[in-house]
Amino acid sequence: MKKVFIFLFAGLSIFSSCKKETENNSFITHYVDLQIKGDEIISQKVGTAFTDPGFTAIESGKDVSSNVKIDGQVDVNTCGTYYLTYKIANADGYEAKVTRTVCVNNPQTLEGAFVITSSRKSSSSFPGNYITIKKTDEEGVYSVSCLIGGWYSQGRNYGKEFECPGHIKVAEDGTISLIDGYLAYWDAEVTSLEGKFDKTAGTFSWTAVWNGFTFVIENM
């Protein structure tokens, strides 16, 4: 009789343990609806004040924008690309975040990060891509992060390895010509490039031929 009692007790213990492990393992959580105002990619002229367009954060119908934290900052006195990450956790600790890119540039000297439109003839156009342009030590020569304007890396969202970096020559009259350009992933060079830089207006555009495709790049 004693053996039977021990067996029943052990069985009840196992049943009780299983019940404790499976109860309360699911619940409903309300994620924060975090949205930035304005564009995700912003062009900012060097030396001018930056004003964040702002954001909204709603959790279960309640405005929780005051709880949003922002990582990163913009140095308006230095040309380059800056990232602002907005993030907030809901009541259960689940985080929502979104990032804004700020492109600080000097359009009169053709330096910095520029918001551009990248188009491929007979295909898609991507307004809102961005590239970086930097002066080199050689007169009139600039390095460009992607001569085809991020058409694959940003527009098609393939990633940074699909950029086509290279160098351009800008003549005294603003004529832009090709020095070199190469997209390593597909082992293909830019075969021709021609364009124009208007220093007074701070605008530039060029047409580049890569792997048989023609791309048109112009700043916004």
Cα–Cα distances in angstroms (integers) from residue 201 to residues 100, 143, 174, 219, in the given order: 26, 21, 12, 11
- Tell me how far apart the terminal alpha carbons of the chain are, to the nearest angstrom: 89
**What is the reported pLDDT for 15?**
39
Strands (E), the chain: 33-36, 41-45, 55-59, 62-63, 69-71, 80-89, 95-106, 111-120, 125-135, 141-144, 166-170, 175-183, 188-198, 203-210, 213-219
- In the chain, CATH 2.40.128.120 sits at 107-219
**What is the reported pLDDT for 51?**
96
Q: Which two tokens stand for residue 145?
A: 């992060």
pTM here is: 0.84
Contact (Cβ atoms closer than 8 angstroms) between residue 86 and residue 69? yes
Q: Which two tokens stand for residue 79?
A: 């040309």
C-alpha triplet 169, 200, 48: angle, nearest 5°: 105
**92-141 confidence digits (pLDDT tens):** 999 999 999 999 999 999 999 999 999 999 999 999 999 999 999 999 99
**77-103 confidence digits (pLDDT tens):** 999 999 999 999 999 999 999 999 999
**What is the reported pLDDT for 7?**
37
- In the chain, CATH 2.60.40.10 sits at 33-105
Task: Pick out the chain residues at pLDDT < 70.
Answer: 1-25
Contact (Cβ atoms closer than 8 angstroms) between residue 163 and residue 147? no
**What is the reported pLDDT for 8?**
35
Yes or no: domain 107-219 corresponds to CATH 2.40.128.120: yes
Contact (Cβ atoms closer than 8 angstroms) between residue 205 and residue 218? yes
Length of the chain: 220
**How many whole angstroms separate alpha carbon 185 and alpha carbon 78?**
31
Q: What is the dihedral of CA 37, 43, 47, 53, to 10 degrees?
A: 0
- What single letter denotes the amino acid at residue 16? S
How many C-alpha atoms does 72 have within 13 Å on its Cβ side?
15
| 33-105 CATH fold | Immunoglobulin-like (2.60.40)
**How many whole angstroms separate alpha carbon 146 and alpha carbon 70?**
29
Q: Which two tokens stand for residue 44?
A: 């900012």
**What is the reported pLDDT for 19?**
42
